[in-house]
Structure 1
Amino acid sequence: MKNHFLLLLAGIILSLSGCVKNENNATAEHKVITDDLNKNVVIDSLPKRVISLAPNLTELIYKIGAGNKLIGNTLYCNYPEEAKHITKIGDMITFDYEKILSLKPDLVFITVEGNVKDSYEKLLKLGVKVFVSNPRNYSGIKKTIKDFGNIFNLEKNADQIISDWDIRYKKITDEANKLPHRKALFIIGLNPVIVAGKNTFINEIVTTVGLENIASDSPLNYPIFSREEVLKRDPEFMLMTGMSSDEVKDNLKGIKEWKTVKALKNNNVIVVDPDMYLRPGSRFIDAIEDLFRKINPHHQEYPR
């Protein structure tokens, strides 16, 4: 369980499969695409066999409509359902390079903050073509979906997806701007208390729905707060990931220093899906809509 949490956290400090139609399964023209390491990657023909080394990239590959090209992914690639049945080549840190080579991929997708530099260098030494995508915010997610559209010759799909996202994003921000900005804290772990700071993907979710992140003044992405500091800042909402809502709430209520914290006194503990909220990928808009509903259960436009 601890290793799973560390891998999730590594992915942070580093998405719904859409109903989109494949535009062209023919050979793509010669392209040079700049990845997120600012490296020019030559795409001579449409990739037919690709591997993803991060769950958020796997979700984006399916979202763009290229899931049928995916021949390998990680143990943590569990969404959409089809991703569970793809050949697993390791977790996000350790990979079976012999298996990767045996799959004969045309292209391997890797990230920066979820994977490690050694993996990237090892793949290059083995002669594997690698494309680095490292979305860290909404703008980065849109860049990645455009890159994937370009790589897979699905540019129209990318434009359609981004247009839909932008419409939904604007609707949320318009509604959020009409409401008071309440104080919130997104807790990553309790021992010690690790929270999401300003320069994080999570902070963007929190602030987009109109909440004020009380950890945004920290220079660290994921600062450690004392229990007393949380009490002093007194959030109106506490947000935390977990599969069992009751268990998370019981754990928070069991901390004696927090008995008078507004979020706990008013039962404003929001438990969210870790995969949806901790992966900067195609479910970003789903996450902000979900959170908006949870903090505004009686809102007419977004009924819970």
Structure 2
Amino acid sequence: MTKWKYLLLWAVCAVFSPTSVAVERIITLSPHLTEWIYSLGLEDKLVGVSAFSDYPAEASEKPVVADYQGVDFTALMALEPDLVLAWGGGNKPQDITRLKSLGIPVFISQPDTLDAIASEILEVARLAGADEQSQTLVHQYRTQLAKIQQQYQHKPVVKVFYYMWSQPLMTIGKAAWANKFLTTCGAQSIFNDSPIDYPQVSVKQVLLRQPQLLVAASDQSMQTLENFWAPHRPVIQAPLIQANVNALHRFTLRIADAIETLCHDIDSYRQQEQK
């Protein structure tokens, strides 16, 4: 497909409804965007994905056209996409600019709130002609989040140490993504005063702040996670719980279930403290 055909397609899409021009070949440049396409039932139109597009499992069988080094434009163009979904927070700005210069219709995803996930999925569905599927999915997602928020909004705040890695020990500041769902659960990071979103801290700093709860956003085994804190247990008594990092830090509909589980685990701590 030539550059001029891409430009014509984009112009038509801007004027007419998505059903006027059928999108048949979609490429996603982030794992969360790949998952959106499967959620919308459009996987048959998905011709290329980014590295680490591993959910659902069959997504890993799709041709990979991008990774941390950037977009493989030769591979991407060979697949002749008529819609590319890019991640504003993950793909290189120069790659997105180049895609636009080629005349390829590009949707840029950059959700900064939990509800923005829903809004962006609706927009992708509109572009790809999957409005009916998206309305049901988004309604269920928003209803679930509203129920969780209502359940925990008046609970006592729990001070937590939320971390993604232990070497180096990396946590979250006030503006970090994880605070979107910790706030929903009635929890607060002990490093909310950090001037950066993802500060590296020492164990000593954690011990000095004495969190009520340790939250490991990790797919390591609980035994491995416990072993890290074992030498410090004479000084810190905070229980350790595990958060589903793959769901919580990937902007997809699965985040609602992961938040519900995390909130339940945090609330279990509250109930234990009240006894």
Task: Give the equivalent residue in structure 1 for 2:226.
Answer: 249
Structure 2 stretches lacking a partner, 5+ long: 1-10, 271-275
Task: Give the equivalent residue in structure 2 for 1:275.
Answer: 246
Task: Give the equivalent residue in structure 2 for 1:207.
Answer: 183
Q: Map 1:132-281; keep pairs closer than 5 Å.
A: 132-240=108-216, 241-254=218-231, 256=232, 259-263=234-238, 268-281=239-252
Deviation at 1:50, TM superposition (A): 0.5
1:130 aligns with 2:106: yes
CA 1:163 to 1:43, structure 2 compared with 1: closer, same or farther past 3 Å?
Answer: closer
Task: Answer whether contact 2:149 2:184 (CA < 8 A) is retained.
Answer: yes
Aligned to 1:224, the other structure's residue is in SS state: coil
TM-score, length-normalised on structure 1? 0.77
Deviation at 1:164, TM superposition (A): 1.0
Task: Answer whether contact 1:135 1:281 (CA < 8 A) is retained.
Answer: no
Cα distance in 1, alignment partners of residues 220 and 262 from structure 2:
16
CA 1:226 to 1:243, structure 2 compared with 1: closer, same or farther past 3 Å?
Answer: closer
Task: Give the equivalent residue in structure 1 for 2:23.
Answer: 47
TM-score, length-normalised on structure 2? 0.84
Task: Answer whether contact 2:160 2:215 (CA < 8 A) is retained.
Answer: yes
Cα distance in 2, alignment partners of residues 291 and 47 from structure 1:
38
CA 1:43 to 1:203, structure 2 compared with 1: closer, same or farther past 3 Å?
Answer: farther
Structure 1 stretches lacking a partner, 5+ long: 1-28, 34-41, 300-304
Deviation at 1:230, TM superposition (A): 1.2
Aligned to 1:175, the other structure's residue is in SS state: helix
Task: Answer whether contact 1:56 1:282 (CA < 8 A) is retained.
Answer: no
Aligned to 2:58, the other structure's residue is in SS state: helix
Task: Give the equivalent residue in structure 2 for 1:86.
Answer: 62
Task: Answer whether contact 2:179 2:188 (CA < 8 A) is retained.
Answer: no
Deviation at 1:229, TM superposition (A): 2.1
Task: Answer whether contact 1:207 1:213 (CA < 8 A) is retained.
Answer: no
The structure with the greater share of residues assigned to helix is 2
**Number of corresponding residues:** 258
Q: Pick one of 84, 87, 93 that aligns with 1:108.
A: 84
Deviations 1:164-186 (A, max 9, x none): 11221122122213532211121
Structure having the higher Rg: 2
Aligned to 1:230, the other structure's residue is in SS state: helix
Cα distance in 1, alignment partners of residues 124 and 241 from structure 2:
33
- The structure showing larger relative contact order (alpha-carbon pairs under 8 Å, at least 6 residues apart) is 1
Aligned to 1:110, the other structure's residue is in SS state: strand
Task: Answer whether contact 1:196 1:202 (CA < 8 A) is retained.
Answer: yes
Q: Pick one of 14, 27, 32 that aligns with 1:32.
A: 14
Deviation at 1:259, TM superposition (A): 4.2
Task: Answer whether contact 1:193 1:226 (CA < 8 A) is retained.
Answer: yes
1:96 aligns with 2:72: yes
Task: Answer whether contact 2:30 2:87 (CA < 8 A) is retained.
Answer: yes
1:294 aligns with 2:265: yes
CA 1:160 to 1:115, structure 2 compared with 1: closer, same or farther past 3 Å?
Answer: same
Cα distance in 1, alignment partners of residues 131 and 219 from structure 2:
36
CA 1:298 to 1:186, structure 2 compared with 1: closer, same or farther past 3 Å?
Answer: closer
